[in-house]
């Protein structure tokens, strides 16, 4: 397979050349590109925005999502490897990567390292049923930031997220964007958030319930209602990642109606 890798100078150009990498196969890269479009001051000129093409068809993509971290879409292993080789040849080996599980061994052959998190990507395209659960989902408010930061920090620990999630910055950004929500029935019971919105898709993340409120279906209710809101607003698909090791979480998402798309793995990479 002959693979051609192209680097694009702007998020606009990148989005115009994603080809077969749709908003399911490339949910994070689409989300990142649209975030940069909506907040142009955040995009740093020279940030690698890459596509891999076979016979003129774009079949995979990758972006540098943050300093040292590269995120890959789904795509043929040969295309994923070609994208990684671009970073290697440019002398810009990343320190972390999110890659399709199918390309794990090939990537680790090029970039030695170890897995830190193994997720399944899920997608929901149909309206979920509303939960029979007392309470409601509402947007979180700025005056709740203190305990939301505590919850976000606890979520990072419970989810074994790699690196420093910087909970204060996460909460401040999501509150400013109106992307952080709380399920309450008199008192807050669970938290859920949106990420990477595009005109067609959005991801759900930061799904968290404090220990004392668990096993009552609050998180499930929050995810179902937020997903329904987004589909009613015109999104064609809602997506999320779930840790493969957490059986109860995966069962919850499947019960809501999310269908598995593919497995991904977060890698911590050794220096060159």
Alpha-carbon distance of 159 to 153, in angstroms, equals 10
Task: Please report, rounded to a whole number, the percentage of residues in the chain having pLDDT higher than 70.
Answer: 98
Higher pLDDT, 39 or 78: 78
Average pLDDT over residues 215-239: 97
Domains and CATH numbers, the chain: 4-111 (3.40.630), 124-261 (3.40.630.30)
pLDDT above 80 (res 1): no
Model confidence band, residue 162 (pLDDT cutoffs 50, 70, 90): low
Task: Please report, rounded to a whole number, the percentage of residues in the chain having pLDDT higher than 90.
Answer: 89
Residues 6+ apart with CB under 8 A from 79: 1, 3, 52, 54, 59, 60
Identify which of 97, 24, 23, 19 has the alpha carbon closest to the alpha carbon of residue 59. Answer: 19
Model confidence band, residue 133 (pLDDT cutoffs 50, 70, 90): confident
Identify which of 106, 39, 40, 42 has the alpha carbon closest to the alpha carbon of residue 265. Answer: 106
Average pLDDT over residues 68-81: 97
Looking up tokens 């479009």 gives 37
Length of the chain (residues): 272
pTM of the predicted protein model: 0.95
> What pLDDT sits at residue 131?
83
Identify which of 20, 82, 6 has the alpha carbon closest to the alpha carbon of residue 48. Answer: 6
């Amino acid at each position: 397979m002959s693979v051609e890798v192209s680097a694009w100078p702007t998020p606009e150009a990148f989005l115009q050349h994603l080809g077969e990498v749709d908003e399911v196969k490339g949910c994070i890269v689409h989300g990142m590109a649209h975030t940069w479009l909506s907040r142009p001051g955040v995009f740093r000129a020279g940030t690698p925005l890459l596509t891999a093409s076979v016979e003129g068809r774009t079949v995979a993509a990758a972006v540098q999502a943050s300093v040292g971290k590269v995120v890959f879409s789904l795509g043929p292993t040969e295309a994923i490897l070609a994208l990684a080789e671009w970073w290697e040849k440019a002398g810009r080996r990343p320190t972390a990567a999110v890659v399709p599980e199918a390309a794990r061994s090939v990537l680790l052959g090029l970039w030695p390292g170890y897995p830190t998190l193994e997720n399944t990507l899920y997608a929901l395209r149909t309206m979920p049923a509303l939960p029979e659960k007392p309470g409601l989902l509402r947007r979180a408010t700025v005056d709740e930031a203190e305990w939301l930061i505590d919850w976000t920090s606890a979520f990072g620990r419970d989810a074994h997220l790699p690196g420093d999630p910087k909970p204060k910055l996460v909460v401040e950004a999501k509150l400013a964007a109106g992307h952080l929500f709380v399920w309450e029935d008199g008192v807050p019971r669970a938290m859920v958030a949106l990420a990477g919105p595009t005109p067609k898709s959005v991801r759900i993340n930061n799904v968290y319930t404090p220990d004392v409120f668990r096993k009552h279906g609050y998180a499930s209710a929050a995810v179902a209602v937020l997903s329904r809101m987004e589909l009613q607003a015109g999104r064609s698909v809602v997506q999320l990642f779930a840790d493969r090791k957490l059986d109860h979480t995966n069962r919850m998402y499947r019960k809501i109606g999310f269908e598995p798309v593919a497995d991904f793995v977060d890698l911590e990479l050794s220096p060159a």
